[in-house]
């Protein structure tokens, strides 16, 4: 049985650099982005449709309680990009996240790759899912307390350009990381996560990307 990430020991590989900026932190205009979720169905995505549904223009992940993580992934891969989406973790309970530059782990429900983390104590942090198993850049509690809208919609941005990955929530940079390992993949799918553990619900909308 998998041990929940909320209870297992986690290590920080390097500190996140935080700062204030106007959303989005990348400075790219809204017109340059394209939607990767049409708000009607799961076209362009693959995964367990008993857990992932589309309702009222939202992508919703509902967990009855799972022993293993579950992911809904894009069919297309991406390398360098700016990803923007709105996310609501209902009641701020449980854990979720968005994978980037990732791949499915063979014979498993897990994914391997970078994760823009979501959940109490982990919002805005960059985690290396099913690979090195470390927090690569940790958002500070003070910043998240100031920035996060609890049990409400939050604007999340992920900037990935070669070795540089930067996360922002509601216009503030929460994690800034430069990959030093050239063997780490810089291309892969994007995926939304339902974390193992008790029941939870996570909602996404306006998932858009600008490739660089």
C-beta atoms surrounding 151 within 10 Å: 11
pLDDT higher than threshold 90 for residue 64: yes
Beta strands in the chain (DSSP E): 11-12, 19-20, 34-35, 45-46, 52-55, 58-63, 70-74, 81-89, 96-104, 111-118, 126-129, 134-137, 154-161, 164-169, 172-178, 189-194, 200-211
Percent of the chain having pLDDT more than 90? Answer: 85
Q: What share of the chain is helix, strand, coil (3-state, %, to 5)?
A: 5, 45, 45
Residue 132 CB contacts under 8 Å (≥ 6 apart), including other chains: 13
So what's the pLDDT on residue 26?
58
Phi-psi region of 171 (alpha: psi -120 to 50; beta: other; left: phi over 0): left
pLDDT one-digit tens code per residue, 7-52: 433 444 444 445 555 445 555 666 699 999 999 999 999 999 999 9
So what's the pLDDT on residue 24?
55
Q: Are strands 189-194 and 58-63 parallel, antiparallel or unpaired?
A: unpaired
Q: Is the pTM of this model over 0.85?
A: yes
Domain ranges in the chain?
11-211
- CA 52 → CA 79, 81, 122, 162, 177, distances in Å? 25, 25, 22, 30, 30
Query: Which overall architecture, per CATH, does domain 11-211 show?
Result: Sandwich (2.60)
61 contacts 205 by C-beta, under 8 angstroms: no
On the question of a cis peptide bond just before residue 24, with omega within 30 degrees of 0, the verdict is yes
């Amino acid at each position: 049985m998998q041990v929940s990430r909320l209870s297992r020991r986690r290590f920080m590989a390097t500190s996140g650099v935080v700062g204030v900026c106007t959303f989005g932190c990348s400075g790219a205009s809204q017109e340059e982005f394209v939607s990767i979720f049409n708000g009607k169905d799961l076209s362009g995505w693959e995964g367990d449709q008993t857990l992932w549904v589309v309702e009222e223009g939202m992508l919703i992940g509902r967990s009855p309680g799972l022993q293993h993580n579950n992911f809904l992934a894009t069919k297309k891969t991406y390398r360098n990009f700016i990803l923007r989406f709105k996310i609501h973790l209902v009641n701020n309970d449980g854990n979720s996240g968005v994978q980037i530059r990732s791949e499915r782990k063979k014979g498993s429900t897990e994914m391997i790759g970078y994760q823009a983390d979501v959940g109490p104590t982990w919002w805005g942090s960059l985690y290396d899912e099913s690979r090195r198993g470390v927090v690569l850049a940790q958002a500070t509690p003070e910043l998240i307390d100031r920035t996060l809208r609890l049990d409400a919609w939050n604007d999340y941005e992920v900037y990935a350009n070669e070795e540089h990955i930067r996360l922002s929530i509601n216009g503030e940079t929460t994690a800034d990381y430069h990959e030093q390992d050239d063997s780490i993949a810089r291309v892969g799918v994007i995926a939304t996560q339902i974390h193992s553990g008790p029941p939870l619900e996570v909602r996404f909308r306006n998932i858009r990307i600008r490739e660089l």
